[in-house]
Amino acid sequence: MNPDLARLAPEALWKHFAALSAIPRPSKHEERVVAWVRAIAQERGFPIDADATGNLVVRVPATPGHEAARPVVLQSHLDMVCEKNAGTVHDFFRDPIRLVVDGEWVRAEGTTLGADNGIGVAAALASATDPAGPHGPLELLFTLDEETGLTGAQQLDARLVRGRTLLNLDSEEDGKIFVGCAGGADCAIELNLERTSPGRDLRPFKLSAKGLVGGHSGLEIIDNRGNAIRLVVRTLLAAVDRGVQFELGSLSGGSKHNAIPREADAELWLDTGAEASLAQVTESMLAG
């Protein structure tokens, strides 16, 4: 366990989060994290049930004196958004997340952290395994493939859940309870483009936006964070408006539909005079 992480409280929560972060868990590939949850439950003698989709419920008995309490379902999802910076070498199917304690924050080195929803998974397991925490009967519900379509939750066999009070641990603000949320939609756009080879006298040029904060497209979308794709496109449109002549080779950026893009690139072909003009446009965009 990361020694810096070991100093954080509550200890049980961060111990589980550190162990979880070492397990690759892309959406639709949660086999190893499912096995990890099962091992924790079996070690403590907690009964486990699963449905045909692979969603799990770990049934945790009440601590002494709380047997008459109403059962509570603690729900979280086991997969994570897998995104990394362009210069980061990381295989999300093999490598652990590299955790860094940065002041009051826990971050990942060059990749997404996986706290969505790893911190919820860790909180549920800590509630069930920390001897210092009294509780009534618990049902720890772990669903699959949340990040790419809510597949686990949509295909959940309702018979798996017996409790009538459920707390979804996939929220981001302390002290608040959410009773609903906005939906989402995927769109596919097809364009018939005429492709040509660049002119002989043109030189390759790359326009890039990097180092942005990014964030979750559901939560941080209202924070006016920079979207790398939009910034690159706005710069290109400004260049067109100012008469800069260029040919577009490619435009790419982002990799997940629910993450604000942190990086984007446009590959261009320009003549020598246009390079200076495009540089002026870029500087003016940076100046705001």
- Catalytic one of 30, 51, 79, 116: 79
C-alpha dihedral, 56 to 30 to 180 to 172, nearest 10°: 110
79 is catalytic: yes
Element (H, E) at 75: strand 72-77
Instruction: List Cβ neighbours of 76 (8 Å cut-off, separation of 6 or more).
Output: 117, 120, 121, 123, 124, 140, 141, 142, 143, 168, 169, 170
Tokens matching residue 269: 């072909």
Phi/psi at 185 (5° precision)? -150, 145
Q: Exactly one of 116, 145, 146, 147 is catalytic; which is it? A: 146
Active site residue 49: no
Whole-angstrom distance, CA of residue 26 vs CA of residue 273: 46
Tell me the catalytic residues: 79, 146
